[in-house]
């Protein structure tokens, strides 16, 4: 797992304000991706294992949540990894 100190070592590659901005974008992208997959895992665990719902119902909820949040996470990650030029 990537620790914060590993990310801080990469920071000197980007001097000045640009480095701070790139570091913030990287952090936002990582947090959004980890949150997205964590939420999907919580939906599966709570729906299937805790509430004992049929797998078809869990898949419906999972599909709805992934569809709604996938666009947001895609926009954030796309903004971070965009091509300039």
Over the stretch 36-76, which tens digit does the pLDDT of each residue have?
999 999 999 999 899 999 999 999 999 999 999 999 999 98
User: Is residue 59 in some structural domain?
Assistant: yes
Which domain covers residue 30, as residue numbers? 20-80
Give the mean model confidence (pLDDT) for residues 18-28: 80
Mean pLDDT of 7-20: 62
pLDDT above 90 (res 81): no
Q: Look at residue 1 and tell me if it is in a domain.
A: no
Give a yes or no: residue 35 inside a domain: yes
The secondary structure element, H or E, covering residue 25 is: helix 16-44
End-to-end CA distance of the chain: 32
Residue 30 lies in a domain: yes
Give the total number of structural domains in the chain. 1
Q: 2 in a domain, yes or no? A: no
**Cα(32)–Cα(25) distance, integer angstroms:** 11
């Amino acid at each position: 797992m990537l620790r914060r100190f590993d990310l801080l070592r990469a920071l000197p590659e980007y001097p000045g304000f640009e480095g701070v901005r790139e570091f913030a974008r990287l952090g936002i992208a990582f947090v959004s991706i980890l949150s997205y997959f964590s939420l999907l895992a919580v939906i599966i665990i709570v729906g299937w294992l805790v509430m004992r719902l049929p797998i078809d119902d869990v898949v419906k909820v999972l599909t709805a949540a992934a569809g709604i949040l996938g666009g947001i996470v895609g926009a954030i990650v796309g903004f971070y990894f965009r091509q300039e030029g």
